[in-house]
Homo-oligomer: A and B are copies of this chain.
Amino acid sequence: MLTIEERQPPPAMVGTSPFIDCDVHVTIPSRESLWPFMSERWRRHDEQFAGNPPHGASYYPRASPGAARVDAWPGDGKPPGSDLGFMQEHYLDRWNLGYGVLGPLLIGGKSYSRNPGYADALARATNDWVVQDWLDLDPRLRSSIVVPYEFPDLAAAEVRRVARDSRFVQVYLQIRTSMPLGNRAYWPLYEAAVEFGLPIGVHFGGSGGPAITGCGWPSYYLEDHVGNSQTFQSQLTSLICEGVFERYPELRFVLIEGGVGWLPTLAWRLDHAFEEFRDELGHVSRKPSELIAEHVWLTSQPIEEPADPASLTELLNLYPSVLNRLMFASDYPHWDFDAPDEVLHKLKLSPSAQDRFLRLNASELYRLAE
């Protein structure tokens, strides 16, 4: 605890003339106190978005912490996604969930601390809390391992600490890292994941430091939201170019909440560039599309929604390996939640492909018993 020395009050006058203070602050007492001075349009914006970083790299809507559905509040003051009983009733039981893979999120971006000790403590505490308050209480739940991934040695240690509990089924990262994920700085973490046969799940979001586009900071949350997909493309490119999948032939990546439709085009482009720049990537011996087909899984939410849903299926059929790697995700309790029955209207699949999508792909990847 900080202790503050008590000070004597200063003399009422300094010299004989009135003095000048060049740094005196006033504080706006509350968010609401500026509203009388704003038009309705910007008042609404203030309510929804303000408090987010100026570049929009945060969660929508502000008014709903944790970007949650308005009906996902347990009702006793707890934030959405924090009450098992409520979640069972609201989601797990209602849709007859087989297994759910938790992706623990800390409100307020705490998990990205630059303080290694604190980042580590936070990750450890989160994983222990997940065991006690979730995994031990509902046998349908599995979890991702939260790790201080910008400190890969600490992250690897945390994987090794908790991975013996087989209810932890993947290592959890966020897509906006400080460096591209292929970078060898992250390899110690991948090594730990491979030791336990765990996939690396990389989720939408994060704030690694660099501007979130290749041309600087955009202005709107929409750009942040849509722009995550571009970062997923850059990360997958990096993983391939750095030879991560050849160094760790058992390593698998799950791209969570990054969209799907960009994959065929990117794979075509990578394959062609790989032929052209073969000499630069002497350490990579296999075609990018082959590496993707073996090492990369994707989740559905938010799946692209063309005006005619058939367009999406046609697109994915151009790149058949995707359908063996695509797994259902709801993003519960977030505002853009996809229920299992909803998503099947957005993504038209044959009965067998539907079964792979809703069950089989995930149970194989995460080794979930039938």
Contacts and interface: CB of A to CB of B under 8 A. Distances in A.
Instruction: Count the copies.
Output: 2
Contact of A215 (B49, B177, B215): B177
Given A211-B211, A230-B234, A272 B218 contact: no
B216 A304 contact: no
B214 A238 contact: no
26 contacts: A41-B282, A45-B280, A48-B279, A175-B215, A177-B215, A178-B216, A179-B216, A180-B218, A181-B215, A210-B213, A213-B214, A213-B234, A214-B231, A219-B238, A219-B242, A220-B241, A220-B242, A221-B277, A222-B273, A222-B280, A223-B238, A225-B277, A262-B262, A262-B266, A265-B304, A265-B315
Interface in A250-288: 259, 261-262, 264-266, 268-274, 276-277, 279-282
A233 B312 CA distance: 19
Interface in A312-358: 312, 314-315, 318-319, 336
Contacts of A212: 214
Given A218-B234, A265-B304, 15 more contacts: A180-B213, A210-B213, A210-B215, A213-B231, A213-B238, A215-B234, A222-B273, A222-B277, A226-B266, A229-B233, A261-B265, A261-B269, A271-B305, A276-B336, A315-B315
Interface of A: 41, 44-45, 48-49, 60, 175-183, 208-223, 225-227, 229-231, 233-235, 237-238, 241-242, 259, 261-262, 264-266, 268-274, 276-277, 279-282, 302, 304-307, 311-312, 314-315, 318-319, 336
A242 B274 CA distance: 36
A227 B208 contact: no
A180 B216 CA distance: 6
A209 B216 contact: yes
Contacts of A227: 214, 233-234, 237
B214 A274 contact: no
Nearest to A238: B218
A67 to B, nearest CB: 12
Contacts of A241: 218-220, 222-223
A273 B226 contact: yes
Contact of A214 (B210, B261, B269): B210
Those 10 A-B pairs whose CB atoms lie nearest each other, nearest first: A261-B265, A213-B234, A214-B231, A230-B230, A210-B211, A268-B306, A268-B304, A210-B216, A212-B214, A222-B277
Given A181-B215, A212-B214, A264 B266 contact: no
A153 to B, nearest CB: 19
Do most interface residues of chain A lie in helix, strand or loop, or is the interface mixed?
Answer: loop
Nearest to A184: B219
Nearest to A311: B318
Contacts of A277: 60, 220-222, 225
A218 B281 CA distance: 13
Contacts of A223: 180, 234, 237-238, 241
Nearest to A181: B215
A261 B264 contact: yes
A222 B242 CA distance: 11
Interface centre among A209, A219, A221 (most CB of B within 10 A): A219
Nearest to A314: B318
Nearest to A229: B269
A158 to B, nearest CB: 21
Contacts of A276: 336
Contacts of A237: 218, 222-223, 226-227
